Chain A
Amino acid sequence: MVARGRWRGAQHLIKHGRVRWAITGRSLLLPVQYAAFPVALLVAWQVCAQIGFIRRNVLPAPTDVALVWFDLITGATDAAARYSGTWLDHAAASIWRVFTGFAWGVALGILAGLLIGLSRVMERVLDPTIQVLRNIPVTAWVPLSLVFFGIGNAPAVFLIGLGAFFPVAVNTTHGVRQINVTLTKAARMMGANQRELLFRVILPGALPSVMTGVRLSMGIAWVLVVVAEILAVRSGLGYLLNDAYLFYRNDVVIAAMLSIGILGFVSDRIVIFVRNHLLEWNRLDTFGGQN
């Protein structure tokens, strides 16, 4: 009887809600749900390093990384030696590159996506080229962009922009294409001119898809900034990571990795925040909008 009751309950949950949350329910405190996995990971890592399972200069303990990280940022203890207190400059350099490259890539991507989505002629002119270039991994552009732009910010910003361009262009095209034709008909019927049609119907209608592209682009931008900084510039978290690797400072390497992870995560949250703000309407009739 008990088992049967539970099964009914499960059926009810499968029918009426997202199963994975429903099963754990609210019985576990939220902070515990969030903290359990990362804490377990850190503890396991600490234990591995502590008992000498892995040599400490190969895999430094979380506590070592934390100390080095603290010095990287503040320059207070000299634990990071030659890198002491350099974190802010490196982080700022990376963030600047990511957002500059991202900005031009997204802007051109939206422009190209609109052109291809709105005009069959532009589709024939632009789309085949974009589809071929899209399949070249952006990292394959590194040698050419170094030759072309030299060492410095330019190749980094170029690569990041290139990486950001394709997802936005493809998703914008898709967004424009899936706009309900009745809406454009209604706007024309009410007397909308081309400009009004673009800004009041096409752009808002394509926005959910555009934002999907923008989010993908942000992820790619953080990958490419590290690639560019390892190869093309002498600043930024990617440079710090590679330089520390050459000096066998794995604690600094890990601190740099985690810094990139956190900054990437924060960037993604910013994109999501902007998206949710712009697309509040889109949550109403989609699955993602249900709690």
Chain B
Amino acid sequence: MARISLRHVGKTFAGRQGDVAALAGINLDIVDEEFISIVGASGCGKTTLLNLLAGFDIATKGEIIIDGAAVAGPGPDRGVVFQQTALFPWLSVEENIAFGLRLRANKHKGSPDKIVERMLERTGLAAFRSRRPAELSGGMRQRAAIASVLAINPSTLLMDEPFGALDALTRSIMQDFLLEVWEEERKTALLVTHDIDEAIYLADRTVVMTAHPGRVREIIQVDLPRPRRYEMRSEKRFIALRDHVTAIVRDEAIRGAVEMRTSATADVW
């Protein structure tokens, strides 16, 4: 039984030159504790899809059912990790982690102090607890952001290119950190990324999307054993998967570019 189920989901934005379809006919079932990654060329609507799941936007077609109820808005059952780190600059690391727990909506989730302590421990930020976000490195900021989301114990974790702004080395360390946390906390996770290695390395299934409008082109089962280890990236199976996904994404990106060029020419004439 799927925990999250998308049925014929479409999203159209009203543009100046008529409506623009960002997503069309998306069908996807996600089971409990599954890790899904979404890749695609830029402009394929992957962030739009995540916004719909988070409830920041509402689908114009179809429906999204999570735990038996249609998504009507954002809520603490779905934690979102943003690419642009969502830490409050006026709060220290520990105050940021406690932010969600101090809201009325999460009062029943237990003592903030204890949970904050556990999160600081788990994310290795205990020594930086009283630092402000501006005093942290990019990787540590994203750790703190993930900790603040995990603190409210959401059943679903939605991540929008969470490591996109980090350098390659930090990014790979953060991927292992995320895997480690996920192995322990076991949430349903959905990760949007443009990094194909990341998409395969982290996920149970990788959804490849096409652009204009965004559709699901292919869903790839990542049959690599868990727990994942960094060395797996040089194994044959991983490379085969990566080449396969890369081929589709490239194909789509090139087709998208050609389409844009032809439509641009049409506009001129």
Contacts and interface: CB of A to CB of B under 8 A. Distances in A.
B84 interface: yes
Contact of B75 (A189, A205, A207): A189
B269 interface: no
Nearest to A190: B100
Contacts of A189: 54-56, 74-76, 78-80
Given A201-B88, A285-B134, A186 B82 contact: yes
A205 to B, nearest CB: 8
A29 to B, nearest CB: 33
Q: Is the interface of A mostly helix, strand, loop or mixed?
A: helix
B89 interface: yes
Interface in B70-118: 73-76, 78-80, 82, 84-86, 88-91, 99-100, 103-106
Q: Is the interface of B mostly helix, strand, loop or mixed?
A: loop
Nearest to A281: B90
B228 interface: no
A18 interface: no
A179 to B, nearest CB: 10
Interface in A28-74: none
Contacts of B223: none
A282 B90 contact: yes
Contacts of A89: none
A180 interface: yes
B132 interface: yes
A40 B160 CA distance: 62
B105 A193 contact: yes
B103 A192 contact: yes
A24 interface: no
A185 interface: yes
B135 interface: yes
Nearest to B86: A186
A185 B82 contact: yes
Contacts of A201: 88
A188 B78 CA distance: 11
A193 B104 contact: yes
B50 to A, nearest CB: 11
Contacts of B55: 189
Given A185-B74, A185-B80, A284-B132, A191 B88 contact: no
B135 A284 contact: yes
A180 B84 contact: yes
Contact of B84 (A182, A187, A188): A182
Contacts of B79: 189-190
Given A279-B90, A284-B89, 5 more contacts: A188-B74, A190-B100, A191-B76, A207-B90, A282-B89
Interface of A: 180, 182-183, 185-193, 196, 200-201, 204-205, 207, 279, 281-282, 284-285
9 contacts: A180-B84, A183-B86, A189-B55, A189-B75, A189-B76, A189-B78, A190-B100, A190-B105, A285-B89
Interface of B: 54-56, 73-76, 78-80, 82, 84-86, 88-91, 99-100, 103-106, 132, 134-135, 148-149, 152
